[in-house]
Amino acid sequence: MKWQALFFALVTAAFCLGPGTAAPEQSLREAAWSSGILIGAAVRPAQLSEAAYASTLAREFNMVEPEDALKWEVVHPEPQTFDFSQADQVVDFASRHGMKVRGHTLVWHRQNPKWLTEGKFTSRELAEILETHIKTVVTHYRGKIFAWDVVNEASDEVHAGQLRSTIWRDQPGIALDTGRELRASNRDANEKARSGPEARSAQRDYAYIEQSFRWAHEADPQALLFYNEGADTEMVNAKSDAIYAMVRDFRQRGVPIDGVGLQMHISNLHADVASISTNIKRFTALGVQVHFTEMDVSLAVDANGNASPEDLQRQAEIYRQIAAVCLANHGCAAIQTWGFTDKYSWIGSHSKHTRGAALLFDQNYRAKPAYWALRNELEAGRR
Ligand code: XIL
């Protein structure tokens, strides 16, 4: 029996490694390569020691992004302490497997350490802290992280078109190089972008974002710098209008911005592909690229985390549509999912485990219909 098993293993290996690899041994990453798109996944460093996690990741993806390991609370736990150990594991893994790394994120209002949020710093102190943070982290990964989400989710979720009130913007906000302090303002950013004095006022509102991009660019002039946003800004609406106005203004004034990240967390089994496509077109017309940065399609699940077969098929169709819309727009350069196995996904813990099954592989690393839909689309849609 033993020699038969050995013979079978050898034949299988030869088949897998041989030229013109047959379809089942192909991977998402090969399909993505032939269509000229990066295919990425958000990664948890602690899981890299799990064989199935590591082998699936390396086989199927050509880009990774630490899911939480580069957020302030992890990377900058004390005022004078930077801890790169977790993110370094992801970067090392990527370099061993020929993968690119996206960095997430330098400026956000969430997952910040208490020393920062409760520190009662003045604007000037806060500006120094932010500059040091951005420059230290970006410099550490210079030449290793090719693209950064410099600022994440700055838009107000309730008041479309306005900026969110955060420690960086107005609580107390960072002091600017010009000496101006950022002020809280509730006026519509679009309106402000239209006329002279109002345009200047809009620039002041967005100044902390502008300054963050400038600091990141100083630390690594080669890195691509992204503004990343979710919550419906994937489509054309008042929120994405405001981001569009900001990016246009930045490009006109030479602020170093290279891309817009559209998160693509989909929770209603519907994707307005026409609107997403129009949105991508207008951003790329400004000369920036678009990455889909955090895609998942969450489903209602039972107590074991399982979704219905019908929903899994509908989910597959959404992954297919999103791949198609990216392939159809040349400036859309990457599709990244927020995790890759349903075993580890933020959806469960963030929905009291009523939702889940959002990713391409099931809890046992088996490819789901969504995987095949995405892969077939990438294979068919060479560009
Ligand atoms: C999520 C992570 O997946 C979780 O592990 C963490 O507990 C909370 O943050 N938008 C973002 C991501 O930009 O950083 C968030 O990630 C998901 C929503």
pLDDT in tens, 20-53: 333 446 899 999 988 889 999 999 999 999 999 9
**Residue 282 CB: number of other CB atoms within 10 A?**
14
181 touches ligand 1 (CB under 6 Å): no
Token digits for 271? 């994707």
Mean pLDDT of 187-204: 55
Report whether pLDDT(7) > 50: no
Whole-number Å distance, alpha carbon 228 to ligand 1 midpoint, is 12
* Residue 379 designated active-site: no
Across 317-333, average pLDDT: 96
Residue 200 is predicted with a pLDDT of: 61
CA dihedral 65, 29, 322, 301 (to 10 degrees): -70
pLDDT at 132: 98
Nearest-atom number in ligand 1 for the CA of 105 is 14
- Among the listed residues 153, 210, 229, 377, the single catalytic one is 153
Q: What integer pLDDT is reported at residue 196 of this predicted model?
A: 60
Least confident of 96-105, 156-165, 261-270, 284-293: 156-165
- 341 C-alpha vs ligand 1 centroid, how far in Å? 15
Distance of CA 239 from the midpoint of ligand 1 (Å): 20
Residues 6+ apart with CB under 8 A from 200: none
Give the span between the Cα atoms of 40 and 145, in whole angstroms. 13
DSSP 257: -
Predicted pLDDT of residue 184: 36
Q: What is the pLDDT of residue 175?
A: 73
Ligand 1 near 346 CB (within 6 A): yes
Provide the pLDDT for residue 270: 94
**Does the pLDDT at position 329 exceed 80?**
yes
Atom in ligand 1 nearest the alpha carbon of residue 346:
3
Mean pLDDT value across residues 123-137 = 97
- Residues 6 or more apart in contact with residue 160 via CB below 8 angstroms: 237, 238, 239, 242
- Give residue 383's pLDDT: 64
Q: Please list, residue by residue across 35-47, b when 16 or more beta carbons sit within 10 angstroms of its beta carbon and e when fewer do.
A: bebbbbbbbbbeb
234 an active-site residue? Answer: no
Nearest CA to ligand 1 atom 13: 152
**pLDDT score recorded for residue 333:** 97
Bigger pLDDT: 10 or 162?
162
CA of 137 to the centre of ligand 1 (A): 19
- Burial profile 78-110: b = 16 or more Cβ within 10 angstroms, e = fewer: eeeeeebebbbbbbebbeebebbbbbbbbbbbe
**Cα–ligand 1 centroid distance for 191 (angstroms):** 31
Per-residue pLDDT at 231: 85
- Average of per-residue pLDDT across 234-261: 97
- Identify the residue with better confidence: 253 or 198: 253
Model confidence over 219-234: pLDDT tens digits?
A: 999 999 999 999 899 9
Pocket mutation for ligand 1, best pick of 164, 229, 233, 346 (most atoms within 8 Å of C-beta): 346
Predicted local confidence at residue 201, as pLDDT = 65
The candidate with the shortest Cα–Cα distance to 261, out of 218, 229, 216, 305, is: 229
Longest dimension (CA), the chain: 83
Q: Which of 192-196, 214-218, 327-331, 347-351 has the lowest mean pLDDT?
A: 192-196
Dist CA 145 CA 369 (whole Å): 31
Give the pLDDT score at 11.
41
**Residue whose CA lies nearest to ligand 1 atom number 15:** 67
pLDDT for 374: 97
User: What pairs with residue 147 in β-bridges?
Assistant: 102, 224
Predicted confidence (pLDDT) at residue 9 exceeds the cutoff of 50:
no
Q: How far apart are CA 337 and CA 344, in angstroms?
A: 12
**What's the pLDDT at 33?**
85
